[in-house]
């Protein structure tokens, strides 16, 4: 059942007022994949009366005022994606389409939606209850951060939005406790997973370089970001405090990841798996095609690719649901009259992280000084694809299910590290759980760029490819690997992209690939590299392609067939790289030009 979006729907539930109103930059999709629906349903289950205002019009007070003011708090989110990533391409152009807006036209979500909606509320309800920011946009912008679109270091979004609190990360437990504390008339200042502004710093919290220092000095920005990044584990993180002018941002330590029981409870809530009927006239919401009949099996990722913000938002600890809970969800989906027999995705941020975690991490927290998968897989991780194999088999055997597809990306090195169940899992997936294409994300082929990305070397992809081909040949079906690559990542010169092109031609000639231009989203290590033009770990200067034309050129080199080859590395083969010049790690290369001036 949907949460109410109109006064009539509020009355139909027998309510005379609301405790919480959630405002979102997406159309209202009632799905376990959508934060606003999950938080709304969690609060509803805790006994609070919750309404939703999707994509309010900024021009007047009619939309934002239609449910009146809530009793406890307003919850504001930009939607499932940061509004600037949703609205702008990596080259800064406005996107015309929006998968999270009914009708698909990108005309409903403002840039910096969180700030716009918070200001809208303040304008029309000057003396209202607390405004609480949440969702990805707020989470990634919770401390001072580099903003690619304005090319400057911005304050914490809490200050720009003039909001009272910011809930970051996976917020179910934090918002539930927040509602209880506000109901009791208490300030939630010790609540985990919460940021707020204060007149003075908090005792015992780690003071990180101020917004002013981070703005003036890239070296201070690096120290600020790394202190923030290293304090994200619920078991080990310290609280952080950061001065902004004469005020302080107080960043409480993160909330604990949901336990399996809590994850199951969230997914046992009643989701309509549809867009609210108020959007019907505008048209379909394209994102629903992907998520309506998909099942999230876990959260979090310990891959820590440097360009990805999942570790900062969802955490490095993977929380998996129980098999029974996932099967129940599969059965509920299969019983729907509109279900055609295909579970479109059974997965998570990385499909094959389901069902196992490092025992040490669960007891003592993620290691602050090493990564779980890079530069090689930590021996304490012990990957086990057995639980996923069993799960997929059981889902596929449910009445009404023709196929349970794995459409989330698979991490090749993790699969190959599981000597017992890894290849049987891949065989199962290739034989029964692929709908034509299997996604993997090598992102590049040149070893120096892969190191900057925090990705494994390309040999694991090639080995995975060989197994994939072998298993595909057994099926007699036409199936492909679909590979994702990033152009213009910090450190990547035109020569590196030419090398990647050669790699694609030599090694993946019959493979589909997709190329994205690197987008410096807030709160990633790659964005830190982009901004400072240095490797934050070695301190060495990096070439960073910052011109729009240079960034687009790198993509064109990969996707357009008739650009002539200009690979300097061709003449610089060494014995070690003979036959695979894209693997060159040393040796002469065309000197990259100096970093161009800022746009
Ligand atoms: S011991 Fe290894 S797998 Fe466990 S948290 Fe540390 S780096 Fe990750």
**Chain segment 326-346, per-residue pLDDT in tens:** 999 999 999 999 999 999 999
Which of 235, 236, 302, 360 to probe ligand 1 with, by most ligand atoms within 8 A of CB? 360
Q: Which residues contact 472 (CB under 8 A, 6 or more apart)?
A: 430, 479
Instruction: Print burial letters for 251-267: b (CB count within 10 Å at least 16), e (below 16).
Output: bbbbbbbbeeebbbebb
Give the separation between CA 103 and CA 509, rounded to whole angstroms. 37
| Cis preceding linkage at 163, omega within 30 | no
Question: DSSP states of 228-291 as a string?
Answer: HHTS--TTTPPPEEEEETTEEEEEPPPPPPPPHHHHHHHHTS----EE-GGGGGG---HHHHHH
Nearest CA to ligand 1 atom 8: 372
Non-local CB neighbours of 476 within 8 Å, separated by 6+ positions: none
Q: Is the dihedral of CA 524, 530, 536, 538 positive or negative?
A: positive
Residue 300 C-alpha to ligand 1 middle, in angstroms?
Answer: 14
Please say if the pLDDT value at position 533 is more than 90: yes
Instruction: Provide the b/e sequence for 376-388 (b: ≥16 CB within 10 Å).
Output: ebbeebebbbbbb
Q: For the beta carbon of residue 390, count every other beta carbon within 10 angstroms.
A: 13
Site to probe by mutation for ligand 1, drawn from 302, 368, 380, 414 as the one with most ligand atoms within 8 Å of Cβ, is 380
Q: How far is the CA of 590 from the centre of ligand 1 (A)?
A: 38
- Pairing label, strands 298-299, 512-517: unpaired
Q: Give the Å distances, CA to CA, from 158 to 142, 440, 582.
A: 7, 36, 45
Which atom of ligand 1 sits closest to the CA of residue 361? Answer: 5
**Residue 483 class from Cβ within 10 Å (0-12 exposed, 13-18 middle, 19+ buried)?**
buried
pLDDT digits (tens, 9 = 90+) for 272-328: 999 999 999 999 999 999 999 999 999 999 999 999 999 999 999 999 999 999 999
pLDDT 10s digits, 76-107 = 999 999 999 999 999 889 999 999 999 999 99
For residue 317, how far is its CA from the centre of ligand 1 (angstroms)? 10
Pocket test for ligand 1, best of 381, 382, 384, 418 (most atoms within 8 A of CB): 381
Global pTM value: 0.93
Q: Strand pairing of 319-320 and 298-299?
A: antiparallel
Mean pLDDT along residues 582-593 = 49
Ligand 1 centroid from CA 143, angstroms: 26
Nearest ligand 1 atom, CA 359? 4
Average pLDDT of the residues in 352-356: 97
Cα 358 to middle of ligand 1, angstroms: 6
| Helix, strand, or coil (residue 597) | coil
Closest residue CA from atom 1 of ligand 1: 380
Q: In this structure, which residue's CA is closest to atom 7 in ligand 1? A: 372
How far is the first Cα of the chain from the last one, in angstroms, to the nearest whole number?
48
What atom of ligand 1 comes closest to residue 381's alpha carbon?
3
CA distance 132 to 164: 6
Average pLDDT over residues 267-273: 97
**Ligand 1 centre and the CA of 374: distance in Å?**
10
Q: Which residue puts its alpha carbon closest to atom 5 of ligand 1?
A: 366
Beta strands in 6-71 (DSSP E): 20-24, 29-30, 50-54
Question: Which residue among 357, 361, 417 has the greatest number of ligand 1 atoms within 8 angstroms of its CB, and so is best to mutate?
Answer: 361
Angle among Cα 315, 318, 320 to the nearest 5 degrees reads: 135
- Predicted confidence band at 586 (pLDDT cuts at 50, 70, 90)? very low
Closest atom of ligand 1 to CA, residue 366? 5
Q: Which structure tokens are listed for 534?
A: 């240095």
**In this predicted structure, what is the pLDDT of residue 511?**
74
Has residue 247 got a pLDDT over 90?
A: yes
Atom of ligand 1 nearest to the CA of 371: 7
Q: Which of 366, 369, 375, 379 to mutate to test the pocket of ligand 1 (most atoms within 8 A of CB)?
A: 366
Q: What are the structure tokens assigned to 244, written together?
A: 């902004």
Structure confidence at residue 595 as a pLDDT band (50, 70, 90): low
Who lines ligand 1 at CB under 6 A?
358, 360-361, 366-367, 370-372, 378, 380-381
């Amino acid at each position: 059942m949907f949460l109410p979006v109109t006064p009539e729907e509020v009355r139909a539930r027998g309510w005379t007022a609301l405790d919480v109103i959630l405002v979102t930059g997406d159309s209202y999709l009632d799905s376990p994949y959508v934060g606003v629906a999950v938080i709304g349903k969690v609060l509803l289950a805790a006994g609070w009366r919750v309404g939703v205002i999707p994509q309010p019009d900024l021009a007047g007070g009619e939309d934002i005022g239609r449910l009146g003011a809530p009793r406890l708090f307003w919850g504001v989110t930009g939607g499932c994606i940061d509004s600037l990533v949703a609205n702008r391409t990596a080259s800064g152009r406005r996107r015309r389409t929006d998968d999270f807006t009914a009708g698909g036209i990108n005309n409903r979500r403002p840039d910096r939606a969180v700030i716009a909606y918070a200001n809208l509320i303040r304008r029309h309800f000057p003396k209202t209850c607390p405004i609480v920011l949440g969702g990805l946009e707020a989470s990634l912008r919770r401390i001072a951060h580099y903003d690619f679109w304005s090319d400057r270091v911005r304050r914490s979004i809490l200050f720009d939005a003039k909001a009272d609190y910011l809930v970051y990360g996976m917020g179910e437990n934090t918002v539930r406790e927040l509602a209880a504390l506000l109901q009791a008339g208490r300030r939630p200042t010790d609540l985990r997973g919460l940021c707020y502004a204060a007149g003075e710093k908090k005792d015992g919290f780690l003071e990180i370089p101020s917004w002013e220092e981070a703005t003036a000095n890239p070296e201070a920005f690096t120290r600020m970001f790394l202190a923030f990044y290293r304090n994200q584990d619920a078991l080990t993180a310290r609280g952080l405090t950061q001065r902004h002018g004469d005020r302080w941002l107080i960043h409480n330590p993160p909330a604990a990841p949901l336990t399996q029981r809590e994850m199951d409870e969230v997914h046992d809530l009643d989701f309509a798996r549809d867009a609210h009927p108020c959007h019907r006239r505008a048209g379909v919401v394209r994102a629903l095609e992907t998520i309506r009949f998909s099942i999230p099996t876990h959260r979090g990722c310990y891959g820590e690719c440097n360009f990805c913000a999942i570790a900062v938002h969802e955490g490095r600890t993977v929380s998996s649901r129980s098999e029974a809970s996932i099967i129940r969800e599969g059965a509920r989906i299969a019983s729907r009259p509109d279900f055609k027999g295909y579970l479109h995705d059974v997965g998570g941020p990385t499909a094959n992280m389901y069902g196992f975690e490092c025992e040490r991490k669960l007891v003592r927290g993620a290691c602050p000084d090493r990564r779980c998968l890079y530069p090689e897989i930590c021996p304490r991780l012990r990957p086990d694809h057995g639980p996923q194999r069993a799960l997929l088999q059981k889902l596929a055997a449910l009445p009404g299910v023709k196929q349970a597809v794995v459409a989330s990306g698979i991490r090749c090195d993790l699969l190959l590290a599981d000597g017992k169940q890894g290849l049987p899992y891949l065989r199962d997936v290739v034989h029964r759980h692929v709908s034509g294409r299997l996604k993997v994300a090598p992102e590049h082929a040149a070893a120096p760029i892969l190191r900057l990305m925090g990705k494994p070397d390309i040999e694991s992809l090639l080995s995975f490819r060989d197994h994939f081909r072998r298993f595909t040949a057994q099926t007699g079906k036409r199936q492909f690997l679909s590979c994702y690559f990033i152009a213009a990542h910090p450190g990547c010169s035109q020569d590196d992209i030419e090398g990647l092109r050669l790699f694609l031609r030599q090694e993946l000639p019959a493979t589909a690939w997709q190329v994205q231009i690197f987008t410096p989203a807030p709160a990633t290590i790659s964005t830190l590299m982009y901004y400072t033009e240095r490797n934050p770990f070695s301190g060495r200067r990096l070439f960073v392609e910052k011109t729009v034309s240079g960034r687009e050129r790198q993509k064109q080199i990969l996707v357009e067939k008739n650009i002539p080859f200009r690979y300097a590395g061709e003449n610089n083969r060494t014995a070690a790289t003979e036959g695979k010049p894209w693997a060159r790690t040393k040796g002469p290369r065309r000197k990259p030009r100096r970093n161009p001036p800022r746009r």
